[in-house]
């Protein structure tokens, strides 16, 4: 699965990159059975100047799968916290998509076998 990350007005520190890679890897392994060659995960991190310090970092995670794009967005004061929240939001979406997709595949194979 292709994983891309983009930063706007922000740079990752040396300690953040491995942690982020590990957390995104969790999503990638969860998608293993439903991915194809065009599947990708896109992580966008943007620092905005806002009055509230807790909303300065915005993280958007998009998971591109066959016939579907799943998306989660979070604003937190820390990148890791925002990414954790995005993953919390994506897990139910991935679970629902996986159940639908694997259910269709099973039904199609059963129909062909009959």
Q: What is the pLDDT of residues 35-56, one digit of tens each?
A: 777 788 999 999 887 777 777 8
Q: Band the pLDDT of 114: cuts 50, 70, 90.
A: low
Burial readout 38-54 (b: 16 or more C-beta within 10 A, e: otherwise):
ebbbbbbbeeeeeeeee
CA-wise closest residue to 62 among 37, 86, 38: 86
pTM comes to 0.80
Multiple choice CATH, 2-113, 3.30.160.100, 1.10.10.10, 3.40.1710.10, 3.40.50.10420: 3.30.160.100
Averaged pLDDT for residues 85-105: 84
**Cβ-contact 75, 8 below 8 angstroms:** no
Averaged pLDDT for residues 14-36: 82
């Amino acid at each position: 699965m292709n994983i891309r990350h983009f930063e706007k007005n922000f740079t990752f520190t040396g300690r953040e990159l491995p942690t982020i890679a590990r957390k995104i890897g969790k999503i990638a392994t969860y998608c293993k059975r439903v991915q194809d060659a065009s599947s990708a995960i896109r992580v966008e991190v943007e620092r905005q100047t806002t009055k509230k310090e807790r909303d300065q970092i915005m993280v958007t995670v998009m998971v591109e799968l066959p016939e579907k794009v799943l998306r989660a967005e979070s604003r937190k004061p820390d990148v890791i916290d925002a990414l954790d929240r995005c993953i919390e939001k994506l897990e139910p979406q991935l679970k629902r998509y996986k159940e639908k997709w694997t259910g269709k595949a099973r039904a199609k194979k059963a129909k062909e076998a009959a």
